[in-house]
Amino acid sequence: MSRFLTDYELMIMLAILRLRNDGYGVTIARELEQTAGRQTTLAAVYLALDRLERQGLVTSALGEATPERGGRAKKYFKVTSKGLHAVRATQRAFIALWSGIPQLQGGTR
């Protein structure tokens, strides 16, 4: 059975998927801010990514180092198949809870 993700973890997983499995800390945080309107800190993003990686829901690979990064490498994240299962399981749980609530029918406002 897949474990359910917290709302923040789900947002991060969706951000990585939206970035076509080619996101790193900065782009993931930007995606959260620009698409979901959720203000966050890079440290919070990394804390969640660290937890997701230890649970095998994402994997990471070091990328290129650039001068504006002080010569430090980027770390790119990718959702694993186990991670995708967890996203789907969480989505199903949310949809099931969502349905049958009259106040939440018809629009997102």
Partner 1 sequence: MKKAPALATVLLNRLGPRDESLVGDLHEEYATGRSRAWFWRQVMAAMAFGAAREIRRAPGRTIVAVATGWVVAAPVFLLGDRIAPGLAGFFWQWRQQAAYADGVWWPFYICALLVTYGGFGLSALVVARVNPNRPAMLLAYVASTFTALAVAGLVLEVLIIRYAAIPLPHPLFYAVFSTLPFLWHSGILLVPLTMLLFGAIAMRHAPRTA
Contact residues for partner 1 (CB under 8 A)?
Answer: 24-26, 29, 41-44, 46-47, 50, 62, 65-75
Smallest distance, partner 1 to C-beta of residue 100, A: 37
Residue with Cβ nearer partner 1 (75 or 85): 75
The structure tokens 């010569």 sit at 71
Residue with Cβ nearer partner 1 (16 or 93): 16
Could you give the dihedral angle defined by the CA atoms of residues 50, 53, 57 and 59, in that order, rounded to the nearest 10 degrees? 120
From the list 12, 17, 24, 28, the residue with the least C-alpha distance to 61 is 24
Smallest distance, partner 1 to C-beta of residue 13, A: 18
